[in-house]
Copies of this chain bind each other. A is one copy, B any other.
């Protein structure tokens, strides 16, 4: 480990951490901000991402020793007092530790699909622009062993700070790719033997009756609009049964239910 004490919030070495709430780093040369020990543990063991540096509250340094031991040996660890850290970030950093990560070469969806095994469950998101929902869906995808997440270009970048945080690091764990064209993606998946399931309140099949085969993809659209009609027309549409009078379900909640149902989870002893 290589701790560097920072006394001046304007120190150029911590420039990537300046005013992080205002400046969304996502998309800037593939850099992003990761927060908290749990997320950093995932970042340091992620093969698709590199950690560029860490900024840590001096009082938190001892408690983070085991986490920082996972980081590359030459990665700088910037250490600051509470007031300096908050002045850098532009708000109070509750978790006391931040990292700047960098995406390695992005992968095209087809390339990612080609790496998947014969039995695989993939999540596809179309038009999900809310960071909390994207983060929560990644967390669910990780909990139920999804092999990948593919987002269309109108969904939000999973590397947005809040999405990473809500996902508890799952965004850095599950391979993901961005598809320019949802119809083209459906073709590419069908060619690779995926059964495509589109969640919709007006879906033809009840989720509880779906029998998953080897390769399956669960497609989710934004709350309200849902998946585009044109796309629904070529998917196996599936509905989640609800009680009358209040048939409204958050898309992350819907993903939890659908993933649990289709994940082929083992029945281990409790």
Copies of this chain assembled into the complex = 2
Flag whether A117 is at the interface (Cβ < 8 A): no
B203 and A247 contact, CB distance less than 8 A? no
Is the Cβ of B249 less than 8 Å from the Cβ of A143? yes
Complex CA gap A138/B208 in Å reads: 23
Q: How far is the CA of A243 from the CA of B268 in the complex (A)?
A: 11
Residues B170 and A250 in contact, CB atoms below 8 Å apart? no
Chain B residues with CB under 8 A of A249: 139-140, 143, 256
CB of A270 within 8 A of chain B? Answer: yes
A32 → chain B closest CB, angstroms: 20
Task: State whether B204 touches A250 (Cβ < 8 A).
Answer: no
Q: Is A226 an interface residue (CB 8 A)?
A: no
Tell me if A230 counts as interface (CB < 8 A to partner B): no
Q: Which of A5-13, A69-77, A149-157, A258-266 contacts B (4 or more CB under 8 A)?
A: A258-266
Q: Which residues of B contact A208 (CB under 8 A)?
A: 267
Q: Chain A, interface size: which category?
A: 35 or more
Residue A237 interfacial (CB < 8 Å) = yes
Residues of B within 8 A of A250 (CB): 136, 139-140, 256
One of B139, B239, B270 near A202 (C-beta < 8 A): B270
Shortest CB-to-CB span from A186 to chain B, Å, is 20
Whether the pair A270, B239 counts as a contact (CB closer than 8 A) is: yes
A257 is an interface residue with CB less than 8 A from chain B:
yes
A239 proximity list for chain B (CB < 8 A): 270
Of B242, B248, B256, B266, the contact of A253 (CB 8 Å cutoff) = B256
Report if A142-B243 is in contact (Cβ < 8 Å); known contacts: A206-B267, A270-B203: yes
A166 and B77 CA atoms in complex are apart in Å by 38
A265 touches B242 (CB 8 A): yes
Alpha-carbon distance between A189 and B47 when the two chains are bound, in angstroms: 50
Question: A227-257: which residues lie under 8 A (CB-CB) from chain B?
Answer: 237, 239-244, 246-250, 252-254, 256-257
0/1 interface trace, chain A 181-222, chain B, CB 8 Å (1 if under):
000000000000000000000111110110000000000000
Q: State how many angstroms separate the Cβ of A165 from the closest Cβ of chain B.
A: 12
Knowing A143-B246, A248-B139, A250-B136 are in contact, say whether A241-B256 is a contact too (CB < 8 A).
Answer: no
Task: List residues of chain A with CB under 8 Å of any chain B CB.
Answer: 136, 139-140, 142-145, 168, 170, 173, 202-206, 208-209, 237, 239-244, 246-250, 252-254, 256-257, 260, 263, 265-268, 270
A-B contact pairs, 20 of them (CB 8 A): A136-B250, A139-B249, A140-B250, A142-B246, A143-B249, A145-B242, A145-B244, A168-B248, A203-B270, A205-B270, A206-B267, A208-B267, A241-B265, A241-B267, A241-B268, A243-B263, A252-B253, A253-B253, A254-B256, A256-B256
